[in-house]
Amino acid sequence: MAEPRQPQKEKKASNLVVRLLTAIVFLPFLFALLYVVPWWGFFSLVLLCVVVAASELVTMTMPGARLQQAWGVLASVGLFLALRFASDSPVLPTAILAVVASGLIVGLTNPDPIETAGVRTGWLVATPLYAGGFLSAIAALHTLDNGGTWVVLAAALAWLGDTGGYFAGRAFGRHKLYPKVSPKKTVEGAVGGLLGSVLGAVALHFIALPELPIPHAIALAVVAGALGQAGDLTISLVKRSAGTKDSGWIVPGHGGLLDRIDALVFTGAVTWAYTAWFLHA
């Protein structure tokens, strides 16, 4: 008699193979954009991510509201461009005010069902700030001296934190972290995730970021890693409220884009804030 769990194990193994193949194909392309191609190559990739992330978010939070969904994506792109190109002019505060005011007004165009109108209106404001605002920080990192490596640092803080959390959770996980939102995450996994982020930041100091002192690397990793884990839980909360397992389908083996960058948007923003405040201090 066949083991009842075997199909699930085979599915997980197949999914892991797809994830590995996706990484093998994507990583050389990403490093080329970071270090070889002119600035507009990586900028175009981030802009595409803004469009996809905003689309996934509005699809989950405003199902069926086509006009409001379209506005959420367009506003995200507009705020992203303003943050990237108009940071030293009155255009930026004007754009932020316009996003908030127009989001509230667009919410009036589709009040039904009235019971969820407030939630939809809130996401009309939050989506551009999340997708356009947070991802603009990653685009800004790439403009710095050694910018490609600062982007790699932001990614390492997120993805090594995720990897450390996965293995620590499997090996030592006993105490649930936030079972109502993410039943599989554990406190031990969260600690392992922070250690993974710290190891990644310290390693990059020695490999390619000598301008990041080790004490700063450790502090940045702890803060960014913790907020990255909170970002992961945030998207998990949104998906649970929307009744969906994945935010989308665009990344083979991973689901949606938000499923992959939910931590990165936070680690990228914290890394950019560090460079803005401390890099040339």
Region label for 64, one of left (φ > 0), alpha (ψ between -120 and 50) or beta (otherwise):
left
pLDDT for 156-208, tens place per residue? 999 999 999 989 999 999 999 999 999 989 999 999 999 999 999 999 999 99
Residue 137's pLDDT is 96
- Residue 240 has what DSSP assignment? H
pLDDT for 226-237, tens place per residue? 999 999 999 999
Is 144 in contact with 275 (CB distance < 8 Å)?
yes
pLDDT for 37-94, tens place per residue? 999 999 999 999 999 999 999 999 999 889 999 999 999 999 999 999 987 778 889 9
Please name the helix (run of DSSP H) or strand (run of DSSP E) that holds residue 150, with its range, or none: helix 147-172
d(CA 220, CA 228): 12
d(CA 115, CA 109): 15
Residue 111's pLDDT is 87
Residue 2's pLDDT is 44
d(CA 259, CA 262): 6
Q: What is the mean pLDDT of residues 124-137?
A: 96
The more confidently predicted of residues 150 and 249 is 150
The amino acid at residue 92 is L
Give the torsion through C-alpha atoms of 163, 167, 168, 170, to 10 deg. 140
Q: What is the mean pLDDT of residues 27-36?
A: 94
Is the pLDDT at 251 greater than 70? The verdict is no
Estimate the share of the chain in helix, then strand, then coil, as percent rounded to the nearest 5.
Answer: 80, 5, 20
DSSP-based three-state secondary structure for 5: coil
Is the pLDDT at 5 greater than 80? The verdict is no
Residue 199's pLDDT is 97
The amino acid at residue 250 is I
Give the torsion through C-alpha atoms of 125, 130, 133, 134, to 10 deg. 170
Which of 238, 26, 13 minimizes the C-alpha distance to 122?
238
Residue 254's pLDDT is 61
Is 158 in contact with 135 (CB distance < 8 Å)?
no
Residue 12's pLDDT is 47
d(CA 38, CA 117): 44
pLDDT for 78-118, tens place per residue? 999 999 998 777 888 999 999 999 999 999 988 888 988 99
Cβ neighbours of 20 (radius 10 Å): 11
Q: Which long-range contacts does 102-111 make (Cβ < 8 Å, 24+ apart)?
A: 102/71, 102/75, 103/71, 103/72, 103/75, 103/128, 106/67, 106/68, 106/71, 107/68, 109/67, 109/68, 110/65, 110/67, 110/68
Query: Over the chain, what is the mean pLDDT?
Result: 89
- The gap from C-alpha 85 to its chain's centroid, in whole angstroms, comes to 21
Is 218 in contact with 195 (CB distance < 8 Å)?
no
Residue 17's pLDDT is 58
